[in-house]
Structure 1
Amino acid sequence: MYIRELDLRDFRSWSELNLDLNPGIVLFVGRNGFGKTNIVEALGYVAHLSSHRVNQDAPLVRQGTSSARVSATAVNQGRELTAHLLIKPHAANQAQINRTRCKTPRELLGVVKTVLFSPEDLALVRGEPAERRRYLDDIIATRTPRLAGVKADYDKVLRQRNALLKSASSAMRRGYGDTEGASALSTLDVWDTQLASLGAQVIAARLELIDQLTELIPAAYEGLAPESRPAHIAYKSTIDVTDREVLEAVMLAELGAKRQREIERGISLVGPHRDDVELHLGTAPAKGFASHGETWSYAISLRFAEFQLLRSEDSDPVLILDDVFAELDAKRREKLVKLAADVEQVFITAAVDEDLPENLIPMQRFEIGVEDTDSGRISILRTPDKSPTEEDTAAPRIEEKEHGESDKAGDEDV
């Protein structure tokens, strides 16, 4: 897969951006804060319907504007689709594929597939369980968009159940003998049933993914840090997952067992929203015991495994390396370069050329600057496009394959 065209309007620091892109390595160079990461963030948002930097949509919309638009034309094994996404912080986002308006933005999932390496990946190892849950859920949504809907429905039921636990806690403590308490407990029964049904599907999908990553992640880690302790992962759940055929019944029973504690605390204590992925090095947890280098190796291994899994099922996802070379030593830079060697398209951002490996020759290069306007500072392209010269092509390069171009499909703004 490669992105043939990327258009932004009022996305973060970009008032407008139009890029005609080719397969191979696409390089964005610009000082920190100039907006290069905003470009790859926009592409990642179309792929995952979320940002790797923030949890809300409001920061994605340029100050003083009401919405942002991202359009990406992806070519996948000769088939071309354009995904349009209108981001509205105070209303529902709108999506469109070519000229067809989507009922929900989730229909965009799978049109664009990306795997992103970024400094924020350290949080996968050092951060809270939510980071690791999101890692799993993003991969699941990319591979099986239907399950993204299941996860969204689960989150909705969870919010409603938590709201009931908080608002009707006093009534529920009085039990079924009280009219108000009986009504609240009956409603809680309904939410329990729905939460167990949806939660079991989420857990089952995560367990299946863990099965597939169990060998990929340790192998990737050993390749990066052969001198280190072996890596292994495990899924830690709030329910017994020994028998995957009865997850729904087990979760419903656990909700019953924890009901009194949940009523007292006003929060749901059982379900995939409280699960975690345990990352180990040898017999010790990686979090808190891994060195800085081991943490980086583990984080890269998680992304390596994600990329390899998606590649094995379809064409290459677009590989995004966002400001990571400056953070890595020579050995880990070399490993990333090897990964990028035969990928159909790679987006790389860097503050300065000195951060890049010497043998990395881009097919396209864009230099990012800023400009002060009446509406504030915006990002601009200083150099629209720079393709390799004949002298460049004589040097070692990562991407040397020839690719054909497809005709642009008709599209229109969302």
Structure 2
Amino acid sequence: MYLEQLSLTDFRSYAQVDLSLEPGVTVLVGSNGIGKTNLMEAIGYLATLSSHRVSTDAPLLRFGTERAMIRAKLVRGDQSTVLELEINAGRANRARINRSNPVRARDILGICQTVLFAPEDLALVKGDPSNRRRFLDELLVSLVPRHAATRSDYDRVLKQRNALLKSGRTGKFTAGHEATLDVWDQHMARAGAELLHARLELVERLQPHLNSAYAQLTDGSKAAGAIYRSTLQGAFDDDGEVTAASSGAVPADGMEDLRPLSVDELTERYVRAFAASRRKELERGISLVGPHRDELELVLGQAPAKGYASHGETWSMCLALRLAAYYVMLDDARTGGSAPILILDDVFAELDVQRRRKLASIVSGAEQVLVTAAVEDDIPAELAGRRVKVIPGGLDEPDKP
């Protein structure tokens, strides 16, 4: 798959911009702050319905406007697909596929697939667990779009359950609330089990690719791994309390392996865990058990990457995670899916010469690679290709090799 045409209206700094693209490598060159990342952000948003830079949609709209439009023409083999995404202020976003009637924005998930590398990726290693959960869930939805509904259902139930738990802190919790909480426990257990089951399968698929990618980027002296730690441990003390909240998708240190459990079995585990932790949850007014509190621990050698990895090792781990996602998508492409578009947004400026060359050599064979850089000399020779100059408010005429 490759992106042939991108058009933005009132997106970030652009009132209107049109970018024509080709398969292979395209490098967008321009000064910092001129709008290169805005173009890449729009492509990434089309793929995931989220930005790698901000957590809400409001900053995506050009200041003073009520909506932004992203239009894209994607080519896969002999077929082309036109996507249009309308990002609205204060109401639901809408989309069109091949100029059909409007559909929900999430109905376009899975059509445009990307893997985006950016300086913000350092948070995958150095940041809090929510960054790593988001990484997993965005990849999960790209591979299996129906899991967008799984995430949405879980988030909705979690919000309702937390609202009910908060009423316990204010002394307004009654017997009727207790019965209602039992009902929400069932709903959350099922939604949580489906999300957890999908994440565990994904981590298992990522694991070999992560280790391989890290070895490609380094001298291979340390193994890279990922361990999924769940609040659903399946271990309870004599009083029925949930014990230390950790569980491994990759067995380690005697932790229970949750992978063999079915969705039904995980659902039952969650019901038991909710019952055991109810008193503590009512005291704190929040849900303490569930996928929203899980962790993907990244391991380098024998130690956690967070807090132990050097700056260079941290960057290599971040890049390896993205490459692992790319390889998982390629696995799917071989069975009827689409190879993703690779986006490297201002990454090479952050890397030393050795890592630049290794990363460039790995990605250069992708169907489409989009790169941004403030200084053209930062781009390794392995990524020779078309250059496009980004200027204030638009693009200069591209120079074709």
- TM-score calculated relative to the size of structure 2: 0.90
Q: 5 Å matches for 1:280-359? A: 280-314=299-333, 315-359=338-382
1:102-150 Cα distance to aligned partner (Å, 9 max, x none): 5321111111000011111111111110110011101110010001111
Match of 1:220 in 2: 213
Residue 146 of structure 1 pairs with residue 135 of structure 2: no
Consecutive unaligned residues in structure 2, runs of 5 or more: 234-256
Q: Which amino acid aligns with 2:261?
A: R
Tell me if the contact between 2:196 and 2:291 (Cα under 8 Å) persists in the aligned partners: yes
2 CA distance for matches of 1:89 and 1:183? 38
Q: Secondary structure at the match of 1:145?
A: coil
Match of 1:262 in 2: 281
Q: CA deviation at 1:171?
A: 4.1
Match of 1:244 in 2: 261
Residue 380 of structure 1 pairs with residue 394 of structure 2: yes
2 CA distance for matches of 1:122 and 1:20? 30
Match of 1:232 in 2: 225
2 CA distance for matches of 1:66 and 1:47? 22
Q: CA deviation at 1:170?
A: 3.5
1:65-100 Cα distance to aligned partner (Å, 9 max, x none): 001110111111222111111001311111111122
RMSD: 1.4
Match of 1:396 in 2: none
Consecutive unaligned residues in structure 1, runs of 5 or more: 174-180, 371-378, 389-414
Q: Secondary structure at the match of 2:19?
A: strand
1 CA distance for matches of 2:78 and 2:60? 31
Match of 2:290 in 1: 271
2 CA distance for matches of 1:359 and 1:124? 27
Match of 1:368 in 2: 390
1:195-224 Cα distance to aligned partner (Å, 9 max, x none): 111110000000000111111101111221
Match of 2:37 in 1: 37
Aligned residue pairs: how many? 371
Tell me if the contact between 1:319 and 1:346 (Cα under 8 Å) persists in the aligned partners: yes
Match of 1:253 in 2: 272
Tell me if the contact between 1:5 and 1:20 (Cα under 8 Å) persists in the aligned partners: yes
Q: Secondary structure at the match of 1:47?
A: helix
Tell me if the contact between 1:171 and 1:184 (Cα under 8 Å) persists in the aligned partners: no
Q: CA deviation at 1:340?
A: 2.3
2 CA distance for matches of 1:79 and 1:292? 43
Q: CA deviation at 1:228?
A: 3.9
Match of 1:164 in 2: 164
Q: Percent identity?
A: 47
Match of 2:66 in 1: 66
Tell me if the contact between 1:236 and 1:277 (Cα under 8 Å) persists in the aligned partners: yes
Q: Which amino acid aligns with 2:313?
A: E
Match of 2:175 in 1: 182
Q: Which amino acid aligns with 1:303?
A: R
